[in-house]
Amino acid sequence: MKRWLLGLCGVALGLLVLPEAGEADDQKDYNIVLITADTLRGDMTGPGGSAEVYTPHLDRIAAEGVRFTRAYTTITTTLPAHASLMSSLYPKDHRAYSNVSKLSNRIVTLAEVLGPLGWRTGAHINMPWLNPDTGNVSQGFQDIRRGDHIRKADKTNPWAENWIRKQSERDGPFLLWLHYVDNHTPYHAPGPYSDMYFEGGKGAPGETSLASIWDTFPPDHRESEAFLSWLDGVNSADFVVGTYKGSVTWLDQHIALLRRSLEESGQWDETIFVFTADHGESLGEHDLWFVHAGLYEPTVRVPLVMRFPEGPRGRKVDTVVSLVDVMPTLLGRIGAPTPQEARGRDLWPLIEGADLEGAALLEHTGQQLQGVVTQRWKYIEHRKTNRIYASYPMNEGTQELYDLVEDPGELKDLSGSMPDKVVELQGLMARLEEGERSFEEGKAEVSDEMQRQLEALGYFGH
C-alpha cells in the first residue's frame, strides 16, 4: 500500500507526515546552484522524457543524480512561481499572484536562511519584476546582477562563471541562482539552433500555417509591435515550435559551460546542482499557442533534475512533486532548518527509493483557475470568467476532470460523469490548503520601461 507525500506542514490527516528537513543531519557546507529556465516544459528535455530535443548535458547531470518526471509548478506566471520556489509557500500564502506583485519582507526565503549560516549568495536575474526592489523575490541575495535588462544565456554565463571563480578564492559555501529566459517568447534559438528542429527557415511552409491559428492569439498579442516583429515573415507555426525546441538545446550548451566552470575551479564535487523551471508553455495543445495559459500538462509540468554530492546516481522518480518541495529538500541536505511556514516536504525519502504518492496544488495567474494533480487525476476549477483566450474561455463555476493515465492529452472532461471523484479531489485541495499564513499582499511599482518589457513578453494583464 502506497503512502502519500503531501505538503501538509505537520497537519495529521491520516497521511504520512515526514520529519522536518535537517532534524537528523549535521550541517554540510555544500554549494548550491539553482537554475530556473523560464517557460521550459517538463517534456522538452531528455530527463523529462523527450526523445527529440537534444539535451546531452542535462542528460549527463541527470545520470549522476535524480530526475523527477512529474514535477509541477504552483502557478503559471514567473514572479509568483519563483516566489513559491524560494519560499516553499503556495500563492495563497505569499499572495503574489502576478508579475506586478511584491513579496512580503516577512517571508523567509532560501537565501535568507543560508546567508546567516555562512553561505555567500548570488543571483543573476533576467526580468525586472524579480529584482529585490520590485517583486522582491530575490530578497536575501547578497550579490545580484539585476534584471533591468532581459539577457540571454550567452550574456548571463560570463557573469555567473566569473562569480563562481571568485567563490573558489574564499572560504565557505555559496548559493547561486541563475534565471535564464531563452525559452520564453520570443524564443531564442540563434544561428543553427533556429532550424535544428524545422527545416527550411522562417518562410518555409509547415503542417500548421501561422495564419490558421492567428485568431487564437489574445487580442493584445495580435496588436503588439513586439509580437508582430517576432513573427514577421514566419509562415508556419511549426517553425516557431522548432525555435522553442532549439532554444532548449541552446540553453543546454550553456549548462555545460557552467558545469565546466565549477569543475575547473574545483567546486563541482561539493555542489548540489538543481535545474528546474517556473512553468511550462503551450505549443498548440488545446489550441493554445505560445502562451502559458490554463492548467494543462504542457503549462504546469516542469523539469526537475537534482544532483547531490554523495547522492544516488541515475535515479528516476515518477511521484508527483511540487516546486514548494525544492527549498526543504535543499535545506535538508545541508542540515539547515526549514522555516515553520513552509508548505513543501523534503524529497530525500523519494530520492532514496521510498514508495510514496504525491499531489500538487495548481493555480493560474490572478486566481482565475485552481486545481490539483495526483498520480492519476487532474481537477480544475474556474474561479473567474475571462475570455482572453478564444480557444479556452474561462467561466466561473466550470469544472474539469481528467484521467491522466487513460487520457494524457487531457481531451476528455469527466467532471460531469464522475461527481464523486470531483468531490474527492475538492477535499484533497482543501486539505492541502489548510493552515493560515498571514502574509500581506504587495504591489510593485511599475516603471514605463518595466511596462514596456512586460508587454514585449506578452504580459498585457501582467
Q: pLDDT tens, 214-247?
A: 999 988 888 888 889 999 999 999 999 999 999 9
Nearest to 458 by CA among 40, 42, 99: 99
pTM above 0.85, yes or no: yes
> Regarding beta strands 369-373 and 377-382, do their DSSP bridges make them parallel or antiparallel, or are they unpaired?
antiparallel
pLDDT value of residue 348 = 97
State the helix-helix crossing angle for 237-264 and 56-63, rounded to 10 degrees: 50
Rounded Cα distance, 339 and 133, in Å: 23
Mean pLDDT, range 407-432, rounded to an integer: 97
| Mean pLDDT over the full length of the chain | 89
pLDDT value of residue 449 = 61
Rounded Cα distance, 162 and 428, in Å: 46
More confident position, 262 or 4: 262
Residue 126's pLDDT band, with cuts at 50, 70 and 90, is very high
Mean pLDDT, range 372-391, rounded to an integer: 93
22 pLDDT higher than 80:
no
Rounded Cα distance, 99 and 444, in Å: 8
Cell of 223: 496588436
pLDDT value of residue 277 = 98
23 pLDDT higher than 90:
no
The structural domains of the chain, ordered by start, are 3-9+29-456 (3.40.720.10)
Q: Which of 108-117, 145-154, 256-265, 417-426 has the lowest mean pLDDT?
A: 145-154
Which residues make Cβ contacts (< 8 Å) with residue 458, sequence separation at least 6? Answer: 185, 218, 220, 221, 224, 227, 290, 291
pLDDT value of residue 25 = 47
Helix (H) or strand (E) holding 220: helix 219-222
Rounded Cα distance, 437 and 107, in Å: 10
Residue 10's pLDDT band, with cuts at 50, 70 and 90, is very low
166 pLDDT higher than 60:
yes
pLDDT value of residue 186 = 94
191 pLDDT higher than 50:
yes
Task: Please give the biggest Cα pair distance in the chain.
Answer: 63
